[in-house]
Amino acid sequence: MDVLGFCTQTRSMEYMTPKPVYDNIVLIGFMGSGKTSVGKALKRQLYKKFVDVDTIIEAEENASVSDIFQNKGEEYFRSLEQKCIHHLMQSTGQIISTGGGLPIYSSLSKKSLIVYINADFDVILNRLPTKERDKRPLLQNESKARALFEQRKHVYEELADFSVDANQSIPTFIHVIVDFVLDQRVL
Ligand code: S3P
């Protein structure tokens, strides 16, 4: 009798809390497009864990991304990204912010909702304070960075399940993403 009662209760609770559609939310987009700000806002609104791949790498290597690029090279950094995202994909219920090159060099799980923070190159440059530009080795030469942007944007577009116009003010487009995620009950 007790056992039966327990089972019935578990079943009805399962019914009331449907399984989330996606394992994780992954934020992609060019350097400085606002992935971290979006991630932090989603964390506050969804009460989920927020992780930033660059921050994890910096903590594990005890070095900044710039120093890793300078001392160990880009290839080494890409291998760290690959390991880190692979590890994160083993867990669920997270909001994951990726570096701009991660989706170019690493594959992302199809079980994640991939959100593209889609801002124009000039909007990004105007928005980023010098201090933030200085942290990004691949943003030091403007014409090379612009060419990189042109190459990468098609990859971001193809990967994205949801693309948000991030040329609007940051609070506005964060609101659009939060509404979408809450509406779809993705996590
Ligand atoms: C990179 C983007 C950076 C960081 C590294 C390389 C890239 O992250 O991972 O400097 O290749 O686009 P953000 O996108 O957070 O700036």
Condensed to tens digits (0 to 9), the pLDDT of residues 71-107 reads 999 999 999 999 999 999 999 999 999 999 999 999 9
Give the model's pLDDT for residue 182.
86
Q: What is the distance between the alpha carbons of residues 78 and 104, in angstroms, rounded to a whole number?
A: 10
Q: What is the distance between the alpha carbons of residues 51 and 30, in angstroms, rounded to a whole number?
A: 17
C-alpha closest to that of 125 among 33, 39, 23: 33
* 183 — pLDDT class (breaks 50, 70, 90): confident
Ligand 1 geometric centre to CA of 169 (Å): 21
Q: What is the distance between the alpha carbons of residues 47 and 174, in angstroms, rounded to a whole number?
A: 15
Q: What is the distance between the alpha carbons of residues 53 and 84, in angstroms, rounded to a whole number?
A: 7
C-alpha closest to that of 28 among 40, 39, 20: 39
Residue type, 41: A
* Residue 100 Cβ < 6 Å to ligand 1: yes
User: 46 near 187, Cβ under 8 Å?
Assistant: yes
Q: Is the pLDDT of residue 16 over 70?
A: no
* Residue 81 Cβ < 6 Å to ligand 1: no
Give one DSSP letter per residue of 116-165, joined into a string: EEE--HHHHHHHS-HHHHHT-GGGSSHHHHHHHHHHHHHHHHHH-SEEEE
Mutate which of 54, 150, 155, 156 for ligand 1 pocket (most atoms within 8 A of beta carbon)? 54
Q: What is the distance between the alpha carbons of residues 146 and 10, in angstroms, rounded to a whole number?
A: 54
pTM: 0.90
* 184 — pLDDT class (breaks 50, 70, 90): confident
Give the model's pLDDT for residue 108.
96
Class of residue 35 by CB neighbours under 10 A (exposed 0-12, middle 13-18, buried 19+): buried
